[in-house]
Structure formats: structure tokens, C-alpha cells
Amino acid sequence: MLKNRKFIAYALVVVTTVAATLSFYFWQVANSANLNVEGKKDFVLYIPTGGTYKNVVDSLHKHKVIHDEISFQFLSKFMDYPEKVRAGRYIIKPNSGNREVIGKLRRGEQDEVRLTFNNVRLKSDLIKKMGGRFEFKTEELVDLLRNPEACQKYGFDTTTIMCMFLPNTYFIRWTTTPEKFMARMHDEYNKYWTDERLSQAKSINMTPIQVAVLASIVQSETNKVDEMPRVAGAYINRLAANMPLQADPTVKFAVGDFSLRRILYKHLAVNSPYNTYKNTGLPPGPIALPEPVALNAVLNYERHKYVYFCAKEDFSGYHNFAETFEEHTNNARIFQEALDKANIK
């Protein structure tokens, strides 16, 4: 009887020791640093749509991110990950543990792409900002931007569709599709165009698209936020009087040279619907992606009688405004003299 008790006690000690050892081993397998162990910065793992568990392991191997494959494989099977691989962009931080990473991958907790676009004039500029940032090919987005039906779905045509993209910083999943990206941009557009702003646009007899087109000209004319409402007011006065806008930035857009410092007669003669020296009213589309600050400047334009303005001779970026052509001619002469003196062509 005493021998049996000793045996049972011994067996319990052995079982407890083994259990403790296994528990410790399992804890190590789950939590010890095993991925990006020698990394100095985050590693980004991309799992394409339709990717398999083998693709994941091969990628980790290729980039030497995985330290102990056996423990990773063991815990992956234990957590049923091989059957639940989800596409996406995942950041693996230095010295990450198996359980932390596998759990993140298994749940599909993507780390979104940070996309910022500003200073965009053309569709090609927008595409460059997008290029290589997402799983889809940029050509797919180009096709949508050129597709009349795809643009009409959101209330635009292939010329005005650029009005839908508001310069800002966005966080978007790497696996998004061109269609989902367009829908997201339309949602952001609608967030800006609140009932209040729609009412403001209506009160100045403009549609949101017309506001955006004018705003693109205003921001191309001045980068001084405090001056934008005054510039917008001058253009709106011209529209009301059925005067050509005579906006130099639209001529640069028509010519295709945004580096021009001087607009010459040969530039003014170019035949283009964007040449506002030859055509009255607004051009058919924006000449740049209008920033929200420029949109607000048009909606809240300064009420005054100015219909002319010319860059200041001090090259500060501000303008001299005038109500009469005579006053404007004098301002223009002073600016031209400043250009000549500075030898700017």
C-alpha cells in the first residue's frame, strides 16, 4: 500500500513536471521572438488575393523574416491558420512572436496604406501617386477614369471626374479594387459636400462641379490662403459680367507647360476650351485637384468690385487688384518692369 502511494506520488510529480515543461515550451513557441528577429524596422508582408499558406511561408523565408520555422509551422496548424489565409498588407514588427503574428494574419487585420495626394493637375499625376501602392494595376484605374459609364455612376463625365478627388491623406486597404477606391473617393466627396455647402453653392448659382473647377483656377493663381477669397470674388465678378476669366493658369494648362513665368501672345492664341482668354465662362473641367481650402474660398468668396488683378512687383505671391482697366494696366506695367529688372523670361 505504501509502495503504491509512493508510486502515485512519483507519477504525479513526473506528470506535473512534464506538463509544466510542455506548458513552458508551448509558451515559448507562442510568445518568444521568432519573426523579424534581427530586423531594425518593420517588415511588410504582402499576401495577394488567392494567396496560400505556402505563399506566406515562402515570402517569410525569402526575406529571412522567420527564425524558427518548426515552431511557426506547429503553432500555425494548432491555430488552424493554413486553412484561413487572408490576403492583405501586414506589418511585422521587430521581435514579434508567433501567436501575435499568426493571430493577426488569421483575423485579416490589414495595415492600411497611407495615401496622400496633393499638387495634382492631371489624371496621369494622380496615377503616379497611386502607382504600386495597391494590389490592383494602375491601368485598371486609368480605364475607369476614361470610362464614361463608370464616371457617370458618380455624377461626373470623363473630364469632370477629377473634381471627385479631394486632396487629403487617406488610409486604404492594400487589397482594395479600383471600383472600391472610386467608391471611397466618392464617399469622401459627399462628406465634404454637406447640405450646408450645397446650399452655399446654390446661393451663388453654381453646382459643386462648377465650384470645383473655379477653385482649381483660384488655387493655381495664388497659394496665399488669405487671398483666395478675393481672387475668387474677382473671377465671379467676371463670370457675372460675361467677361472672359483671362486666367493665366488655364493657358498654362492648355499649352501643357506649367513652368511658364510669362504668358506671351503665342500662348494666348492657342485653340483650347481651357484657354479662358479666348472663351468665356468656366473651362470644361478642373485644371488641378481643388484643395478644400480653395473650395471654401469660392463658396465664401469676398464681395467686392474688382475684376482685374496682377501679381505684385515684389514677387511675394500676392496680387494688386483693380476695378478699372486703366488701373490694371498700370499694375501690369509695374510688374513687367520688375520681371525685366530681375531678368525673368
Q: Containing H/E element for 168?
A: strand 168-172
Contacting residues for 329 by C-beta, under 8 A, at least 6 apart: none
Closest CA to 105 of 138, 136, 72, 130: 72
Residue type for 222, please?
T
Q: Could you tell me the three cell numbers for 82?
A: 493554413
- Please state, in angstroms and rounded to a whole number, the distance separating the CA atoms of residues 233 and 298: 8
- The per-residue pLDDT string of the chain (345 residues; one tens digit each, 9 = 90 and over) reads 555 555 444 444 444 443 334 443 444 556 678 888 888 899 999 999 999 999 999 999 999 999 889 899 999 999 999 999 999 999 999 999 999 999 999 999 999 999 998 888 888 999 988 888 999 999 999 999 999 999 999 999 999 999 999 999 999 999 999 999 999 999 999 999 999 999 999 999 999 999 999 999 999 999 999 999 999 999 999 999 999 999 999 999 998 888 887 787 888 888 999 999 999 999 999 999 999 999 999 999 999 999 999 989 988 889 999 999 999 999 999 998 888 888 776
Pair type for strands 113-117 and 88-92: unpaired
pTM score, whole prediction: 0.85
